[in-house]
Amino acid sequence: MGESCSLSKTRILRGTPANKPNWKLYNGKNPNLYTIGIEHETLDGEELTDVQYQSTLWLHGQLLAKYPAIKPDSDHIIGHYRTDSVNRPNDPGAKFPWEQLFKDLKGEEDMVDNLVIYADGDVGAALILSQKLGCPMVHKSSSSKYQAAQKHWVGVQGANDSGNIYYAGANRTETARAVLK
């Protein structure tokens, strides 16, 4: 990947490209052709360390932002055991924090989905941000309605000073996190 993880003592390695199968066929289709594999370095039955969890959460978040068709649920993010229950029954193991992972990923998605941009001066800058994030933009006069609905909302006053932060972030989740700080 072009970006590196900032978490210390953790390395995220890129493995076999998806077009080079390295495990057997499942239901007639090779899962390597339509999945992205993530391996965690633990022994059977061990829990992830906190740093490992934060790293895999970050990686999942990057992939979900890049591939919006992948949703944070058990239909889209599955254990290796589900494609090979014979040879991989403990992959990733009973202690893998599925519920926490889905909850944390859903939280990031909700943050972006509930973001509303309102133009408070520089309509052009607000429009660019709303398009980058895929969020609605409303005029300031309508903003009280969105506040009442407890949406996150960001006012864009200008593109020069702190407005530059509105374009930060490698993807919509990161950008949303930057503007909500």
Decide if residue 122 touches Zn ion (CB under 5 A): no
Residues with Cβ within 8 Å of residue 90, at least 6 apart in sequence: 44, 45, 81
Minimum CB separation from Zn ion for residue 17, in Å?
16
Q: How far is CA 67 from CA 7, 70, 171, 172, in A?
A: 23, 6, 11, 12
| Least separation in angstroms between CB 20 and Zn ion | 16
Q: Which amino acid is at 10?
A: T
Q: Decide: helix, strand or coil at residue 109.
A: helix
Of 34 and 181, the one with the shorter C-beta distance to Zn ion is: 34
- Residue 84 or 174: the one with the smaller Cβ distance to Zn ion is 84
If one asks whether residue 80 binds Zn ion (CB under 5 A), the answer comes out as yes
Strand (E) or helix (H) holding 137: strand 137-139
Residue 108, interface with Zn ion (CB under 5 A)? no
Number of residues that bind Zn ion (CB under 5 A): 2
Instruction: Return the residue nearest Zn ion (CB atom).
Output: 80
Please list the residues that pair with 116 across neighbouring strands.
153
Annotate each residue in 40-79 with x if it binds Zn ion (CB under 5 A) or - if it does not, as one string: ----------------------------------------
Q: Tell me: does residue 91 bind Zn ion (CB under 5 A).
A: yes
User: Angle of helix 172-180 relative to helix 50-66, nearest 10 degrees?
Assistant: 110
Interface with Zn ion by CB under 5 A: which residues? 80, 91
